[in-house]
Structure formats: structure tokens, C-alpha cells
Structure 1
Amino acid sequence: MLRWGILGTSFISHTVVKSILASPNSRITAVFGRNQARLDEFAAKYDIATKYQDLDALLDDAEVDVVYVGLPSHMHSSAVIAAAKKGKAILSEKSLATTMEDSHAMIAAVKEANVFFLEGLMYLCHPLMEKVASIVKSGILGNIKGMSGYYAANIWKKANPLGMGTIYNLGCYPVSLVHFIMETAYGSGAFEKRQVTGLGNLFNEGSLHARDASLNVRFDNGVLTTIQSTDSFGNDFSFSIQGDKGVLRFKTNPWLPLAGDNIMELKIYGGATEEIVVPALMDAFGHQVKRVEDCIAQGLKEAPRPSPSWANSVEIMSLLTEWEADIKKRA
């Protein structure tokens, strides 16, 4: 039985906690939060016996095996470093951080402590992504020539502005999927060789960040990618993978895979169009909890692909920060 400590009482912590409680192999022993009223409400709702307003006190709790970091992105680094020093296994919410300095510091800390660490890009734990990888590797799409993605949700009022806006709230999803496809199709290193153009609408609410952002990338092997992300309006998604023989499109949300049927459309140019259904017993958050359980039970420090390795998470962050920097340069 894996014993969890929860850091943070935000809306995303509610979602992850429900998946932890649904697993027969996990239970929650403690929760940390700075706001006493929200902490009390959260603990009562999920029947969590031990509450802490001091982070170090939770990390010193011998009844906690693994911590979930559900804090805003700009607070991930300090929490992960502190948890690693205490020898705790760690699941930390996406995005990894908001700066490359913090990202490198986090990974250095978990390496030094030799603890399990996984960035919470939960959709990469779902069987849907294993199916995507098998399609890309099969050659049915031919050589991958391009990708396009769009993710929109009106969540900016819920998000801490110090979390740096839509790039780190939502843009991390299509960027991480581009990373996964590039690595699957062309191997490690292909993602890092690129030219980037970023445009966006900036807002200053305690930090200068983009609520609306677009990204064009040309990888050195000729693959072209376009991404648009916004957390200021809408509730929509799209993602397609274009090869020189066919195209794969998602009909259900690739970043919120379901318990039930997840659907893609495979179209061969000048040929047939096939609907591909990937059923699952759990949603992405449930599969993420199981991935953590399985890895810790096996003594692993990093999760296997499709989940992001430590290096994968840093590579994804490198494009997110480059995207942000190019928008600000052009503003």
C-alpha cells in the first residue's frame, strides 16, 4: 500500500486525489496547505486524517512514501527539491517549472537523492499514447512531415499568474506530444534541433505572461509544427500528425484520455479512412497513479515511455521557455 502526501489544495489536487483514492494500492495519509479553511475543507472532503500548514512537517512524516506536488508551477522547484532531500518519491504536476534554472535544479536534486520522480503529464501514461506510438512506428503514415495542435480552455481566473500563463498551463500538452512524436519517429536528439517563432497576447497581472500564444517550429530534419494555446477563452482541442502517406487525427481529446473509448481517425491519402478506438478502464489520472505505483514497486526512479523521463521533461521545458522568450522579444 503506497502512502501519499498531497501538497496543495487547488482544483487539480482534487482531481488527482480522486484517482489515488480509487486505487486499491494507494491511500492518502497527509495533506499540506497554507490556507487553513481550504485545508480543513479538503481534508474533511477526502477523509485525510493528518493536515499540515508547514511543508517540512509533511515531508518529515514517516507515514508518507510519495508526495504529489499540486502547487502552482512556479513553486514546483522548491517543493520537489525539499521532497527529494527527505528521500520521498515524487509526482509533480505539469509543467515541470517556469524557468530552465528551476528545471535543472529539480532534476539535479532527484538525481542526487536517487528518488523516483515523474512530471504529471498524465495523458502520456494512458494506453492511447502506446497506440499512437505503434501507428507512428508502423510506417502506415509514411515519413512524419508535420504536426498541428490547438488547446483552448477558459481557465485563467483559476490559474496563479505567477505560473506564467497559457504556455505552461495548456501549451505544455501539445508541445509534449510533439516531443513524443518526434522522438518516436526520429529518435532522441531530433527534437532539440529547431528554429522557433512565437507570437502572443501578453498580460501583466503580477507577472508578464501570455494568455494567448501561437508557436511555429521547423525542426532541422524538415518537420514543421504549428501550435496554438489559450487559457482566456473557449473549450476545444485538435491535434493531427501528418505523414507523406497519411494523417492521424484525434477525435477525442488526446490530453484528457477517457475511461471508455478514445477515438482517432487514420486517413490514407487517396485511400480508406479508418476509425481507431482505444478502450480503457481508467482515465489518464487513474493510469498515472498506477504508473507511479508500478514504478515504485519495481524500484524504478524514472517511468518508462510513453511517460516522460527526466531528460524528456527538461527538453519539453526548453521549448516552452524558448516559446515564451520569443513572444516577449517580439512584443
Structure 2
Amino acid sequence: MTRWGILATGAIAASFVEDLRLLPDAEVVAVGSRSADSARTFADRFDIPRAYGSWAELAADDEVDVVYVATPHSAHHAATMTCLDAGRAVLCEKPFTLDLASSTELVQTARARDVFLMEAMWMRCNPTVRRVTELIADGAIGEVVSVHADFGLAGPFAAESRMRNPALGGGALLDLGIYPVSLAHLILGRPDAVHAWASLTPEGVDQNTGVLLGYDSGAVAALTCGIVGATPVTATITGSTGRIALPDPFICPDEFTIRRGTGDPEVVRVVEPAGNGYQYEAAEVHRCLAAGLRESPLVPHAVTLEVMELLDTIRGQIGVSYT
């Protein structure tokens, strides 16, 4: 049995706890928040035995095997560092932090403490996405020549909302754009050229962003994200001999469509819909902890840092700062 502690009490924390119920070897034993009342309310809602009014108390609980950090982006570094310093394994929500430097510090700390650490990039753990990458590796669509992906929400978001607050890592890029960027990285690896453009909110965060990644192989990735319009939230991976389409939402699909050569499109169902889709990353954490691993082969530290470096580069080009 893997014993979980939940750090934060928002909507994503609730969804994650709901999905842990789908895993027979998962148990939520504690929750921590900066507010004791919030922690107790969350604990009562999900029948969690212990509720703490501080992150440090949760991190100090020796009956917790791993902590799921579900705070807003801006608090990921501090919350994760609190847990790592206490020797607690961590699954930290994406984006890992607000920038490469602070993400690197977390990885270095985890390695120095000899503690498991993983970014909660659930898309990379999704069975459907994993099957797609297997097919591509096997040459099912030939050599990949392009990746197209988008993630946009309609809004409108109030000026004081988290989505528009620079201090909280607001804007489309970190919240939504990380998914198209991560998919392109998963399929094509580190790009050789990055070109980005965005329109900004009055607060200075991106509200409509386009990114073009170029590869020496000749492949390209065209990616968009935004908080001004509801995009299809789909992705297409085109190869020299075929094409794979991931449906809405491509970040956690249950099926995909593959077209090989001039043949008819084939719909491939990998898993039946269940829960919210977070159970797969939790299961990967269980597997890694049972094997004594300090990082996940599905979401390795190097990938987390390379994607964060890409996001830093894009931010620099579009003129967004979170300070």
C-alpha cells in the first residue's frame, strides 16, 4: 500500500484524490494546507485521517510515503522543497515551477536527499499517449514531419484571477501551453529552433500565443494556447506514411485515430473511460517507489527541465515576466 499526503485543497487536489480510489494499492492518510480549516474540511470530505494546518506538518508525517503537491504554480517550489527537505517523496503538479532555475534546484535537492521526485505531467503517463508513442517508434506512420496541437479556453477571466496574475504564473503558457509543448517534445525531442509570438493582457501575461518549433530533421511543430477562445484541444502527428489524430482533450485521451498510407482511418480504443485520468500518473509513482527508483522513466528529470527551458525561451521571446 502506498500512503499519500495531499498538499493543497483545491479542485485538482480533489480530482486526484477521487482517482486514487481507483487504485487498490493507494491510501490517502493526510492532507496539509496553510489553513487548518481548509485542511479539515477537505479531510472530512474524503475521509482522510489526518489534517494539518501547515505544509511542514504534513511533510513531517512519517506515515506518508509520498506527497502530491497541488498548489498554484507559484507555490510549487516552496511546497516541494518543504517536502524534499523532510525526506518525503513528491509528485508535483505541472508546471514544475515558474522557471528553469527553480526547477533545477528542486531536481538537485531531490538527488542530494536521495528522494523520489516527479512532475505530474499526466499526459506522458496516459495509456493512450503511450500507445501512440509506441506506434510511432515502430514506424507506423513513417518519419514524423509535423506536430500540431492547441489548448485554448474561452474565458473571459477577470483581471484579478489566477489566470491573469503574473505573481501566480498567470497567462496561457504555463497553464495550457505546457501541454502542446510537452507533446511536441515527447514526439520530436528538443527543438533546434524556437519562434514564438503572443498578445498580452494589461497585466503582462500571454492571452493568445503561437509557437513554431523547428528541427534539423526537417520536422516542425506548430503549437497554440490561449485564454481568449475555446479551441478544439486536439493534436495531430503527421508522418511520411501516415497520420495520428488525438481527440479533445488530447492531454488525456481514451482513444486515437490512425491512418496508415492511403488506407481508411482506424479508431483505436486503448482504455475505457474511468475517473479523471490522474490514476495513471499515481500508478507510475507506485511502480517507481516499489522499485526503489528516484525518478520516473516516463517523466524523467531531464525531460521536465528541457520542457521548462523551452517555456523560459518562449517567455523571453513574448516578453512575459512573473516577477
TM-score, normalising length: structure 2: 0.90
The 3-state SS of whatever aligns with 2:278 is: helix
Q: Summarize the alignment of residues 85-104 of structure 1 with structure 2, pairs less than 5 Å apart.
A: 85-104=85-104
Aligned residues: 313
Contact conserved, 1:211 with 1:231, CA < 8 A, in 2? yes
Deviations 1:131-188 (A, max 9, x none): 11121112231111111101123465664631232111111111111111114xxxxx
Change (3 A) 1:23 1:276: closer
Deviation at 1:52, TM superposition (A): 1.7
Change (3 A) 1:37 1:60: closer
Pairwise CA distance, 1:204: 4.6
- Pick the aligned partner of 1:285 from 278, 282, 299: 278
Equivalent position amino acid for 1:274 in 2? E
For 1:18, the equivalent position in structure 2 comes to 18
Shift in CA distance, 292/281, structure 1 to aligned 2, threshold 3 Å: farther
Q: Whole-Å Cα distance in 1 between the matches of residues 43 and 105 of structure 2?
A: 31
State the AA in 2 paired with 1:197. Answer: H
Quick one: distance in 1 between partners of 2:52 and 2:64?
12
Distance 1:168 1:318 in 2: 12
Structure 1 gap segments, 5+ residues each: 184-190
**Counterparts of residues 1-331 of structure 1 (less than 5 Å):** 1-154=1-154, 156=157, 159=162, 161=165, 162-183=168-189, 191=190, 193-205=191-203, 208-234=204-230, 236-257=232-253, 262-280=254-272, 282=274, 284-304=277-297, 307-328=298-319
Structure 1: how far apart are the matches of 2:114 and 2:188?
28
Pick closer, same or farther for the CA change 1:235–1:197 going to 2, 3 Å: closer
Give distance in 2, aligned partners of 1:35 and 1:228: 37
1:169 and 1:252 map into 2 onto residues whose CA distance is 17
Question: Quick one: distance in 2 between partners of 1:84 and 1:53?
Answer: 18
Q: Is the 8 A contact 2:35 2:54 kept in 1?
A: no
Structure 1 CA distance for aligned equivalents of residues 255 and 96 of structure 2: 28
Shift of 1:226: 0.6
Identity of aligned pairs, percent? 26
Query: Does the residue aligned with 2:201 lie in a helix, a strand or coil?
Result: strand
- Structure 2 spans left out of the alignment, 5+ residues: none
Partner SS for 1:22: coil
Displacement of 1:81 in angstroms is 1.9
Cα shift at 1:281: 6.7
SS at match of 2:313: helix
After superposition, give the CA deviation of every residue in 1:100-134 in whole Å (9 maximum; x if it has no partner): 11111111111111111111111211211221112
- Specify the SS of the correspondent of 1:107: helix
Distance 1:137 1:59, change over 3 A: same
User: Whole-Å Cα distance in 2 between the matches of residues 246 and 256 of structure 1?
Assistant: 22
Q: Using the alignment, how far apart are the partners of 2:228 and 2:279 within structure 1?
A: 28
Deviant stretches of 4+, over 6 Å: none
- Asked whether the 8 Å contact 1:127–1:280 carries over to 2, the reply is no
Residue pair 1:197, 1:215 contacting (<8 A) in 2 also: yes
Task: Give the SS at the match of 1:247.
Answer: strand
Tell me if the contact between 2:197 and 2:211 (Cα under 8 Å) persists in the aligned partners.
Answer: yes
Q: Deviations over 1:217-268 (max 9, x none)?
A: 11222211111112343263110111111111113422123xxxx2222223
Calculate the TM-score normalised by the size of structure 1: 0.88
> Closer, same or farther in 2 for the Cα pair 1:256/1:153, shift >3 Å?
farther
Corresponding residue of 1:188: none
Distance in 2 between the 1:316 and 1:179 partners?
Answer: 7
Paired with 1:113 and 1:21, the residues of 2 have a C-alpha distance of: 30
Q: Secondary structure at the match of 1:237?
A: coil
Distance 1:271 1:123 in 2: 28
